Amino acid sequence: MGTLKRGAAAAAIGLIAISSSTTAWAEFPDKPITLVVPFSAGGPSDKIARDLAEALRKPLAQTVIVDNTAGAGGTIGAARVARASPDGYTLLVHHIGISTAPALYKKLPYRTLEDFENLGLINEAPSTLIGKPGLAANNFADLRKWISSNDGKVNLANAGVGSASHLCGLVLQATLPSKMAFVPYKGTAPAMTDLMGGQVDLMCEQATNAVPQIEAKKVKVFGVTSKQRMALPALAQVPTLAEAGLTGFEMSVWHGVYAPKGTPPPVLARLHAAIRAALKDPELIQREEALGVRIVTDARLEPAEHKKYVEGEMIRWARIIKDSGESAD
């Protein structure tokens, strides 16, 4: 074959390859999509992922499954998605912990900024400081006294190193003279069971999971981590932790969606458009808002802004974590 003919044949093969893969993308998704949640079922991350999965069914015309791959503060589930095939069928729904793990873990099984494609930041919720039902304190001032009279004996549950509950615990610990013991779980759903049963004393948990238990009087609430008091009936009388005397204590937990690095741009575009449409679903909005969660549709829902936000949070939390002296293997 002459050079020209070989060139034409190669171009034709190239065209066939491009057009067949474009067709494959055009058909995306043609099988169920899995949302990996790096915490146990029944917690706040699981809740937003399940609400999102439900709302994504219509815009994607596909089944969306939630799979909990819990442990090590969310790093095991994140690593699973970082290593998954970049075809858009395995996605990660992770929270603020994706930004804090790099400062906490000596070795991470993935690279936070390099191994994922950002698909958007989707929600944020304040946390609440809650205690076991029989705890001998009814407000934050009493709680402070109770913690100092039980110096070293108070247990604070969390969802593992780098989880939102752990971070909130670190910030809280930094404001108190007495030492508390951190008790890690694979998510805050099992931690909540133990808190209600009195096996642990305290937990800093997103409103999402705390509100139903506060309403049912199964836990005591001492404060919210939002700047202003929350409007929800269950929390309207609850002071902010800043009001209760913890100056500068403000924290909200956000979730984002991620695909493995190298997912084709048309697939990412299709997924992002579907997420944007899902977040407009009135039922999703209502279900999340009833638990104190704000659905995010500001600039951070844009993939590039989401990535910038993750970077900013990495820097912000690296400072707080360094001051706390906390780390994990």
* The two three-digit tokens of residue 259, written as one number: 């695909």
Least distance to ligand ASP from the beta carbon of 234, Å? 17
Q: Tell me which H or E stretch contains 140.
A: helix 140-149
Which residues, 163 to 222, sit near ligand ASP by CB under 6 A? 163-165, 187-189, 206
**Residue 294 C-beta: closest distance to ligand ASP, Å:** 16
Residue at shortest CB range from ligand ASP = 43
Q: Is residue 263 involved in binding ligand ASP (CB under 6 A)? A: no
Contact 275, 35 (CB under 8 A): no
> How is residue 296 annotated by DSSP?
P
Among 43, 71, 77, 86, binds ligand ASP (CB under 6 A): 43
Question: For ligand ASP, which is the closer residue by CB, 101 or 234?
Answer: 101
Contacts with ligand ASP by CB under 6 A: the residue count is 16
309: nearest Cα among 113, 102, 108: 113
Stretch that binds ligand ASP, among 52-60, 78-86, 148-156, 157-165 (CB under 6 A): 157-165
Binds ligand ASP by CB under 6 A, chosen from 28, 34, 36, 44: 44
Q: Which of 269, 271, 294 is nearest to 284 (CA)?
A: 294
Peptide bond preceding 109 in cis form (omega within 30 of 0): no
**What is the spatial distance between Cα 278 and Cα 52, in angstroms, rounded to a whole number?**
7
Percent helix, strand and coil across the chain, each to the nearest 5: 45, 20, 35
Q: Which of 33, 51, 98, 43 is nearest to 256 (CA)?
A: 98
Instruction: Give the span between the Cα atoms of 43 and 64, in whole angstroms.
Output: 18
Between 60 and 159, name the residue whose CB sits nearer to ligand ASP.
159
- Of 192, 250, 195, 254, the closest CA to residue 224 belongs to 250
Nearer of residues 45 and 240 to ligand ASP, judged by Cβ? 45
Site string for ligand ASP, 92-121 (x = CB under 6 A): ---x-x------------------------
**CB closer to ligand ASP, 95 vs 270:** 95
Tell me which DSSP letter residue 43 carries. Answer: S
Q: Which of 39, 110, 222, 309 binds ligand ASP (CB under 6 A)?
A: 39
CA angle (159, 251, 232) in 5-degree steps: 95
Show Cβ contacts of residue 324 under 8 Å, excluding neighbours closer than 6 positions: 170, 173, 174
Note whether 147 binds ligand ASP by CB under 6 A: no
Nearer to ligand ASP, 69 or 165 (CB): 165
Q: Which of residues 45-84 bind ligand ASP (CB under 6 A)?
A: 45-46
104, 128 Cβ separation under 8 angstroms: no
Least Å from the CB of residue 322 to ligand ASP: 20
| Cβ–Cβ under 8 Å, residues 65 and 32 | yes
Give the contact letters, 284-323, x = binds to ligand ASP (CB under 6 A), - = no: ----------------------------------------
Kindly state whether residue 126 participates in binding ligand ASP, applying the rule CB under 6 A.
no
Residue 28 vs 222, nearer CB to ligand ASP: 222
Q: At which residue do the structure tokens 């780390």 appear?
A: 327
**Nearer to ligand ASP (CB atom), residue 69 or residue 188:** 188
- Give the interface with ligand ASP as residue ranges (CB under 6 A): 39-40, 43-46, 95, 97, 159, 163-165, 187-189, 206
